[in-house]
Amino acid sequence: MRLRAARRILTAVAAAVALGFMGPLITAQADVTDVPPAGANDWSCKPDSAHPEPVVLVNGTFKTMAENWATLSPQLANTGYCVYAFNYGHAATDPIPESAAELRDFVNAVLGSTGARKVDLVGHSQGGMMPRYYIKFLGGASKVDDLVGIAPSNHGTSNPLALAAGATVCPACVDQTAGSGLLQKLNAAPEAPAGPDYTQIATKYDEVVVPYTSSYLSGRAEDVTNVLLQDECPLDITEHDQATKDQVVAQWVQNALQRKGPADPGFQPHCLG
């Protein structure tokens, strides 16, 4: 029995690492200290006319807000945004509908605190896909101005280790497997419901969301922009886990947030060496 239990644990660890959901697996089974990233969760912050929507950062599976947004959160705050982040779903392993309900409640708290009418959502991996459930089924369409997904799992992954992780400690991993019942429901037309603007940022070096085109959404050009980092910056080798720390990604995020509509498909970021 001990050998069998050890094998289950090793399988879960291998799946989590292979899926790129870095961070100790134990965080899926224990309370995570709610330490926000730098720049986030100043509940006295009031949006100004140049940055009217507060930005809510939504981390990925097995991640914490502090680690996932250590780079982007202070950058957005220094630009002038009111920035918020939260941990959800027992290290984002709970079923997607349950985590989406937590997001709904957090957005309501942010709107109540700031007096804003809408928020912008910036999410990584599951954090880019899960908000679509909130938008489509939990009343979020009227409360979200922009949804920016960074390597989002919109159509799931064909990586077989997603099911291995799901069989142990991660129902959200099952939900993110290509063809899952959750994704079939979520991606039934329309994939991008009216209300928010959608910017989806993918990298061809994504080893978690496989294929990387699974990040893309279908929708009208005025509502949806799908971005491949390497189209404009072919030397950018960012992969899934580090995408939130990539400065080219950060430029695309800010382009999406600062303009009416999704990111400008003709935007030319400054490519880094």
Say which DSSP state 147 is in: E
CA distance 118 to 137: 17
The two tokens of residue 79 are: 């630009």
How high is the pLDDT of residue 165?
57
How high is the pLDDT of residue 163?
57
3-state SS class at 75: helix
How high is the pLDDT of residue 208?
94
- Taking the alpha carbons at both ends of the chain, their separation in whole angstroms is 52
Of the candidates 200, 198, 207, 210, the one whose C-alpha atom is nearest the C-alpha of residue 242 is 207
CA distance 241 to 63: 10
> Which amino acid appears at position 119 of this protein?
V
3-state SS class at 199: strand
Neighbours of 271 (CB within 10 A): 15
Cβ atoms of residues 190 and 133 within 8 Å: no
Cβ atoms of residues 53 and 118 within 8 Å: yes
Torsion-angle region of 156 (φ positive above 0: left; ψ -120 to 50: alpha; else: beta): left
Consecutive sets of 10 residues in the chain, 273 residues long: mean pLDDT of each?
37 40 37 82 97 98 96 98 98 97 98 98 98 98 98 93 65 94 98 98 96 97 98 96 97 98 98 79
Longest dimension (CA), the chain: 62
How high is the pLDDT of residue 272?
81
Cβ atoms of residues 244 and 72 within 8 Å: yes
The H or E element spanning position 240 is none
Burial, 68: exposed, middle or buried (Cβ in 10 Å; 0-12, 13-18, 19+)? buried
Of the candidates 144, 142, 161, the one whose C-alpha atom is nearest the C-alpha of residue 58 is 144
> Which amino acid appears at position 115 of this protein?
G
How high is the pLDDT of residue 6?
36
Of the candidates 107, 111, 112, the one whose C-alpha atom is nearest the C-alpha of residue 122 is 107
Name the pairing type of β-strands 119-124 and 55-58.
parallel
CB-based contacts of 95: which residues, under 8 Å, 6+ apart? 171, 172, 175, 182
Q: DSSP letters along 24-79, please?
A: -GGGGTSPPP--PPTTB--TT---BTTB-S-EEEE--TT--HHHHTTTHHHHHHHH
The two tokens of residue 61 are: 């599976």
